[in-house]
Chain A
Amino acid sequence: MKRRAFLGIGGVLAAASAFGGWTLTHRAGTGPLLLSARDGSDGRHYAVGYRLDGTQAFATPVTERCHDVYAHPALPLAVFVGRRPSRESYLVDTRDGTLLQTIDSPPDRHFYGHGIFDAGGEWFYTTENDTSEPGRGVLGVYRVDGRQLARAGEHSTHGVGPHQLLWMPDGETFVIANGGIRTEADSREKMNLDAMEPSLVLLKRDGTLVSKERLPEQMNSVRHLAVARDGTVVSGQQYEGNPLDKAPLLAIKRPGQAFQPFPLGEAQRQMMNQYTASLAIHDDLRLLAVTAPRGNRVFMWDLDTAELRLDAPLPDCAGVGAVDEGFVVSSGQGRCRLYDCRGERILASALELPAGLWDNHLRLA
């Protein structure tokens, strides 16, 4: 039985929105553009952009499955970063989905799935694996040259198996989650579970190490990040050790303080099945949102008091991003949700977006 209501209408709107000017992504009335990697029901991988009302801006087929995506600060461009151990990332025109460039990693490097533009829009940075010395974390540096990216150099991430990277509020300092897991070229096999070296690193744009901090548990892979306007950094972990161990799956580094476990309730920790996926912070509401797809659970906390605000089921939840009302969360299985967090009670509603097949991360441009 098939029930595909009203896709035709969405398709017409999508076509209409695809011929605007460069400023379309921020034009009032159209709302934010949700960017994400998504699989099609045809089994292919896509880089997609949707308005939250369900209007499809684009769905561009790409060769490799992507992971995170990052929009250019001024131009209608976004890079969909190849999921490890991909050697390809994709520069896409977010107005109509035109694939502008397939960015190849250098021969001895592969992407780890995350990358960011700088605030000036002149540079793009990715986390990469030096496969000639497997696991050695590299920060790939790309110059934005017209509508192309060109490799311009690299720095060390001062760690093994780097994953997500973000900017600190100064726009000059990176925060990098070194997952600590060594993998080799063309492989996702974890080679060093008995000798993992996860860390949280702050790095100047020129590659100068500012700080490197660790959590006590050696098998607790620091993978995903969110940074608040005031410089508070939250990290999400994936624990590779005994499923019965009580490892801190969220950690926080408040301005001027050490990197330390976030005060997570035992009930919530249990619900996560040792695995967190995506994190987002809502700066105006001072809320932290986290998805835990193995636990099929979405959580929200007050960032300042660590008070639990939401602990809700959402099968195969994936990406999360902040919008005016609160957060948007995607799912590999069900429909995307909008959580309105402005009132005392958080209200969830389903968005008119295609259901399921959304990959790990989403961004709102």
Chain B
Amino acid sequence: MLFDRSLIAACATAAIALALGACAQKDPYQAASAGLADGVLLPAYTQWTETDRRLAASARAFCAGNESLADARRVLRDAQLAWSGLQPMLVGPLGEGNRAWQVQFWPDKKNLVGRQVGNLLKANPDLTSADVEEGSVVVQGLTAYEYVLHDKTVDLSDAQVRARYCPLLIAIGDHQQKLSADILGQWEGDDGMASQLRTFPNARYADPNEAIADLLRVQVTALDALKKKLGTPLGRLSKGHPQPYQAEAWRSGASLPMIGAALAGAEALWQGGKESGLRSLVDDAHADLANRIDQAYASVRQTADSFDEPLAELVGTEEGRTRLAELYEQLDTLHRLHQNDLAQALGVQIGFNAHDGD
């Protein structure tokens, strides 16, 4: 057969639906898609919204002198990790229209975050939330927030410095809270994203296969991005010269925990929540593949959990680089297993025009 999964519109016509019998109820692809929406994606988006609500409150409390810097940094870390966990789940609204840039600006090759924060505060001594809302995405997200709380040039123990940066912290916290609430609203609405993963056809997906393909696509994209997030500071794009300041969230030392959180999100898509995940769609003939993917997640998780030092420090030593290279290889294995083997076993295409068009 030339093209697998041709004419898969099993439920498209009444005659065919009758022939297969109530497939709308029993389609495992639909069950997996709906199960992931309700058991994994919605909880993850809800959790992200909750961490951003706390971030907005934390900015105010810190700036009012009611919260320590250490506590403010912990709240930021929660927001960073919740955001990272969503990386393999960027189907729908947050994956569209460059909205993700409003949450985090990476890669930042030219330290745009540092420079634009400085320029913004210089141009607006009495900074308002509107200045940030209408400004560049570079200063709207967690990377700018992290800059204020962690950059060595910002001494928040100095009351004047704190007064200068606090309007920005508060504006970013508010922006993140608004953005995440808006996105969650787009997930939960009657015709929202979660609904589009439950019932078919809809304005986005013609059938459950398209939904599963889209979920696998964003999962594969996230795994590929993790390789870049690790490979860039490791120097894989710069002839082996480590680039610690090209790491995601290097200022707060959150790079490796964020990779771990994204991996946990990817694994949740694979295993599923209470309901079935992508793993449930792998048939008996591919049982070996399912075991290999289980094993790949276990290995990469073990390695990712084994680091105590921040990524920026690890890339500075031979031993650190060797251990990170092992993590990279494990990420690469995991990425390939999803992109090639799992896509084939599930009989879905994850597209190519978006990556190598002309």
Contacts and interface: CB of A to CB of B under 8 A. Distances in A.
B8 A277 contact: no
A296 B161 CA distance: 44
A1 B213 contact: no
A316 interface: yes
A241 to B, nearest CB: 14
Contact of B8 (A38, A163, A313, A355): A355
Contacts of B209: 3, 334, 355
Contact of A296 (B96, B201, B203, B352): B96
Contacts, number: 166
A315 interface: yes
B136 interface: yes
A25 interface: no
B358 A84 contact: yes
Contacts of B205: 334
B7 interface: yes
Interface stretch (A98-106, A134-142, A208-216, A265-273): A265-273
A316 B348 CA distance: 13
Interface in A32-69: 38-42, 46, 54, 59, 67
Q: Which of B8, B137, B217 has the most CB of A within 10 A?
A: B8
Contacts of A2: 4-5, 283, 347
Interface residue range, chain A: 35 or more
A80 to B, nearest CB: 14
A4 B353 contact: no
Interface stretch (B9-17, B151-159, B259-267): B9-17
A34 to B, nearest CB: 14
B204 interface: yes
A248 to B, nearest CB: 17
Contacts of B95: 296
Nearest to A164: B358
Nearest to B196: A313
Contacts of A359: 353
B123 interface: no
B238 to A, nearest CB: 18
Interface string B34-76: 0000000000000000000000000000000000000000000
Contacts of B204: 313
A279 B2 CA distance: 29
Given A315-B214, A315-B217, A335 B10 contact: no
A67 B5 contact: no
B306 interface: no
B184 interface: no
Contacts of A267: 97
B8 A67 contact: no
A4 B3 CA distance: 9
A5 B7 contact: yes
Given A333-B213, A333-B349, A316 B6 contact: no
Interface string A218-234: 00000100000000000
B357 interface: yes
A277 B356 CA distance: 11
A5 B347 contact: no
B133 to A, nearest CB: 15
B354 interface: yes
Interface in B272-301: 281-283
Q: Which of A273, A293, A349 has the most CB of B within 10 A?
A: A293
B28 interface: yes
Given A244-B136, A316-B351, A360 B358 contact: yes
Contacts of A313: 96, 203-204
A110 interface: no
Interface of A: 1-7, 10, 38-42, 46, 54, 59, 67, 83-84, 113, 163, 223, 238, 243-244, 267, 270-271, 273, 275, 277, 293-297, 312-313, 315-318, 331-335, 337, 348-350, 352-360
Given A316-B352, A356-B349, 5 more contacts: A3-B10, A41-B4, A243-B98, A337-B206, A357-B3
24 contacts: A1-B29, A1-B283, A5-B7, A5-B10, A7-B1, A7-B7, A41-B5, A54-B6, A54-B7, A244-B136, A270-B97, A277-B357, A294-B354, A296-B95, A313-B203, A316-B350, A316-B351, A333-B348, A334-B210, A334-B214, A335-B206, A335-B207, A355-B349, A356-B5
